[in-house]
């Protein structure tokens, strides 16, 4: 694919946004990632699937990186870490569950470290991912689901141009409990705000 030609096969695609830079995670990100996740545990865990007991270990991160590399190669998922201009790790944004054929869709998930929240970083990261999804991957539809109580996520999605399409009962198992979710989506020809 064209976008892969512009970057090394080892590092995968890279995306530049407004004050943020996104690239595929690498083993060298482990110390920053583990520290950020540990420091943000209380902030993140109520919104995420339950973390495995060994989640923050180096060996689990190595397995994670191997899976990521394979997923990108297979065009089934594109996991990104999000950095600021100083190369500080801010969080992550992942395109997963990529379906080709007659569907041409992906799911979007994201998180920021507690210390970096509410500074516009994830809005900038998601706004930067959108052209990658529709122009580089040439998908037709980008989906996201969030808890009805997740005001930050709802605001972010609506701000960058997603539409709420539905409500799925006990849709995802978050923090150990099957929970209802709002379903959001953006289509390739939906209007996108100039600067969210």
Ligand X SMILES: CC(C)(COP(=O)(O)OP(=O)(O)OC[C@H]1O[C@@H](n2cnc3c(N)ncnc32)[C@H](O)[C@@H]1OP(=O)(O)O)[C@@H](O)C(=O)NCCC(=O)NCCS
- Please give the residue ranges that form the binding site for ligand X (CB under 6 A): 44, 47, 110-112, 117-123, 146, 150-153, 155-156, 159
Q: Is 187 exposed, middle or buried (0-12, 13-18, 19+ CB in 10 A)?
A: middle
Rounded to a whole number of angstroms, the minimum distance from the CB of residue 50 to ligand X is: 14
Cα–Cα distance, 80 to 24 (Å, whole number): 5
Shortest reach from residue 4's CB to ligand X, in Å:
27
Which residue blocks in the chain are alpha helix, DSSP H?
2-5, 30-39, 41-44, 58-74, 121-131, 151-160
Comparing CB distances to ligand X, the nearer of 3 and 55 is 55
Contact (CB, 8 A) for 89 and 81: yes
* Nearer CB in complex with ligand X: 98/122: 122
Nearer to ligand X, 5 or 118 (CB): 118
- Judged by beta carbon, residue 61 or residue 182, the one nearer ligand X is 182
Q: For 113, left (φ over 0), alpha (ψ -120 to 50), or beta?
A: beta
Work out how close the CB of 181 gets to ligand X at its nearest, in angstroms, rounded to a whole number: 8
Least distance in angstroms from the C-beta of 137 to ligand X:
21
């Amino acid at each position: 694919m064209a976008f892969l030609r512009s970057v090394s096969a080892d590092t995968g695609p890279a995306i530049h946004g407004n004050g943020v830079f996104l690239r595929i995670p690498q083993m060298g990100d482990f110390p920053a990632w583990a520290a950020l996740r540990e420091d943000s545990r209380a902030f993140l865990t109520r919104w995420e699937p339950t973390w495995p007991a060994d989640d923050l270990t180096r060996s689990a991160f190595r397995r994670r990186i191997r899976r990521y590399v394979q997923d990108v190669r297979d065009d089934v998922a594109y996991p990104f870490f999000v950095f600021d201009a100083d190369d500080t790790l801010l969080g992550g944004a992942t395109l997963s569950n990529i379906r080709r054929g007659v569907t041409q869709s992906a799911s979007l998930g994201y998180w920021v470290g507690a210390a970096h929240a509410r500074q516009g970083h994830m809005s900038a990261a998601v706004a930067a991912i959108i052209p990658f999804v529709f122009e580089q991957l040439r998908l037709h539809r980008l989906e996201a689901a969030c808890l009805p109580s997740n005001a930050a996520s709802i605001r972010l999605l609506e701000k960058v141009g997603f539409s709420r399409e539905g409500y799925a009962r006990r849709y995802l198992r978050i923090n150990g409990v099957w929970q209802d979710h709002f379903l959001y989506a953006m289509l390739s020809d939906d209007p996108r705000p100039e600067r969210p």
